[in-house]
């Protein structure tokens, strides 16, 4: 199972690499405005946020639903090719892609945590980062036409669907019966500070995921160098994922506070020094904390906090990467269109608010004990 999980993560995050590094640049190159790009890339996170609410009344993320999501993911990727130059057709394709992505990763994350545990999780998950970086480095050399990026997207989706299907076919009874039959008792409002902090963290990433490539190339940094910056961030992410196991034995909520504070510093560096290559690499080195360690600590903390484990993971991806990604993409699009130089200053402010809420959540837990 660890090998199958590693292959799934490799291709899943290769999809993300094509989607967030190259597609915004492709759409900008064929005439889409920043606000249109923001809307298109906000669609997938929005449906990722909405989907978990269908499961809170008792619908279960089981193997049949998972396999249906794999089919939808594949069909949506294929739809990108004819839809590339039509705003509404591309928007619909991205919505379908978002629904598929929102269902398959929480399902796999629970299997991974059950099968390998939180301390070994990073050593399997790091193959996703390897897929991200390898596709980035290959595609930058062959991205001659917009259609090339779409063909890579389709290929990565098909491989992800294949390994996802194989994993689902081999999943154990323990994972199948992990959640309670109904999600009606699942309540995120009791810990609204925690969930708000997770949400704001991903809102701050809207500027980075959707506009980092555009922002840096507009400042005179070459596309090749921008991809190297992306790749360096993923390299330090891989290192963190490999060695983070002992850290995850410690205070997970404290780790979330630490990583959001350093994310604030990261966005400030991009705002203050957008053309200083040395500081750009320093900023990207913080990706080890702001993504790798934050993500592992968040899913591990929720895994231990809730009995409905798949539902908790769905809401984590729905609220943080979904709603947070939606607001972040829309907001970043309009901010970049109106005040491009202030984009990462706003992101830093949002990340600091995330830190403040998580700190408040920790204080609340201490006072209630």
Instruction: Indicate if the pLDDT at residue 344 is higher than 90.
Output: yes
Q: pLDDT confidence of 41, banded at 50, 70, 90? A: confident
Which tokens is 225 given? 């160098």
Residues 238, 159: Cα–Cα separation, whole Å: 21
**pLDDT for position 183:** 47
**pLDDT for position 369:** 57
Q: pLDDT confidence of 177, banded at 50, 70, 90? A: very low
In tens, the pLDDT along 188-244 reads 888 899 999 999 999 999 899 878 988 999 889 988 898 889 889 988 988 998 888
Q: pLDDT confidence of 174, banded at 50, 70, 90? A: very low
Q: Which of 71-85, 113-127, 213-227 has the lowest mean pLDDT?
A: 113-127
Out of 42-56, 227-241, 301-315, the most confident range is 227-241
Average pLDDT over residues 5-21: 88
Q: pLDDT confidence of 186, banded at 50, 70, 90? A: low
**pLDDT for position 59:** 60
More confident call, 246 vs 197:
197
In tens, the pLDDT along 130-161 reads 888 888 778 777 767 777 888 888 999 999 99
**pLDDT for position 86:** 87
Residues 2, 14: Cα–Cα separation, whole Å: 18
**pLDDT for position 136:** 75
Q: pLDDT confidence of 349, banded at 50, 70, 90? A: very high
**pLDDT for position 33:** 84
What interhelical angle do 206-218 and 192-204 show, nearest 10?
Answer: 20
Backbone dihedral angles phi then psi of residue 124, each to the nearest 5 degrees: -90, -45
- Domain boundary assignment for the chain: 2-368
In tens, the pLDDT along 97-118 reads 988 988 888 888 888 888 887 7
Instruction: Indicate if the pLDDT at residue 255 is higher than 50.
Output: yes
How far are the Cα atoms of 6, 55, 114 from residue 183, in angstroms, in the given order?
29, 7, 20
**pLDDT for position 260:** 96
Give the angle subtended at the CA of 297 by the CAs of 293 and 301, to the nearest 5°.
175
Closest CA to 351 of 211, 194, 215, 202: 202
Chain mean pLDDT for the chain? 85
Q: pLDDT confidence of 181, banded at 50, 70, 90? A: very low
3-state SS of the chain is CHHHHHHHHHHHHHHHHHHHHHHHHHHHHCCCCHHHHHHHHHHHHHHHHHHHHHCCCCCCCCHHHHHHHHHHHHHHHHHHHHHCCCHHHHHHHHHHHHHHHHHHHHHHHHHHHHHHHHHHHHHHHHHHHHHHHHHHHHHHHHCCCHHHHHHHHHHHHHHHHHHHHHHHHHCCHHHHCCCCCCCCCCCCHHHHHHHHHHHHHHHHCHHHHHHHHHHHHHCCCCHHHHHHHHHHHHHHHHHHHHHCHHHHHCCHHHHHHHHHHHHHHHHHHHHHCCCCHHHHHHHHHCHHHHHHHHHHHHHHHHHHHCCCHHHHHHHHHHHHHHHHHHHHHHHHHHHHHHCHHHHHHHHHHHHHHHHHHHHHHHHHHHHHC
**pLDDT for position 185:** 61
Residues 226, 159: Cα–Cα separation, whole Å: 27
Residues 300, 248 contacting (CB under 8 angstroms)? yes
**pLDDT for position 175:** 44
**pLDDT for position 204:** 95
**pLDDT for position 311:** 82
Average pLDDT over residues 352-359: 95
Residues 121, 60: Cα–Cα separation, whole Å: 24
Domain 2-368 classified CATH 2.40.50.460?
no
């Amino acid at each position: 199972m660890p090998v199958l999980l590693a292959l799934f993560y490799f291709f899943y995050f290769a999809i993300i690499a094509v989607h967030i590094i190259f597609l915004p640049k492709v759409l900008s190159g064929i005439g889409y405005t920043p606000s249109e790009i923001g809307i298109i890339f906000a669609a997938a996170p929005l449906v990722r946020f909405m989907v978990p609410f269908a499961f809170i009344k008792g619908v279960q993320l089981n193997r049949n639903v998972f396999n249906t999501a794999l089919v939808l993911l594949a069909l949506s990727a294929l739809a990108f090719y004819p839809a590339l130059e039509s705003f509404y057709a591309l928007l619909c394709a991205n919505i379908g892609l978002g629904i598929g992505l929102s269902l398959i990763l929480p399902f796999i994350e629970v299997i991974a945590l059950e099968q390998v545990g939180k301390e070994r999780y990073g050593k399997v998950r790091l193959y996703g980062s390897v897929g991200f970086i390898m596709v980035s480095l290959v595609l930058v050399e062959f991205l001659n036409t917009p259609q090339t990026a779409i063909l890579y997207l389709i290929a990565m989706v098909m491989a992800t669907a294949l390994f996802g299907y194989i994993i689902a076919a081999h999943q154990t009874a323990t994972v199948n019966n992990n959640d309670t039959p109904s999600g009606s008792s699942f309540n995120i409002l009791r810990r609204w500070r925690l969930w708000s902090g997770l949400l704001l963290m991903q809102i701050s990433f809207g500027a980075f995921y959707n506009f980092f490539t555009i922002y840096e190339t507009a400042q005179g940094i070459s596309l090749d160098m921008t991809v190297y910056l992306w790749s360096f961030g993923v390299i330090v992410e891989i290192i963190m994922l490999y060695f983070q196991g002992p850290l995850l034995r410690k205070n997970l909520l404290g780790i979330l506070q630490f990583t959001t504070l350093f994310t604030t510093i990261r966005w400030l560096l991009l705002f203050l020094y957008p053309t200083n290559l040395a500081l750009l690499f320093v900023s990207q080195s913080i990706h080890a904390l702001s993504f790798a360690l934050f993500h592992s600590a968040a899913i591990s903390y929720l895994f231990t906090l809730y009995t409905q484990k798949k539902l908790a993971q769905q809401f984590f991806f729905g609220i943080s990467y979904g709603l947070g990604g939606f607001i972040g993409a829309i907001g970043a699009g309009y901010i970049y269109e109106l005040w491009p130089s202030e984009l990462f200053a706003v992101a830093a402010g949002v990340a600091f608010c995330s830190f403040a809420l998580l700190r408040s959540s920790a204080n609340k837990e201490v006072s209630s004990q």
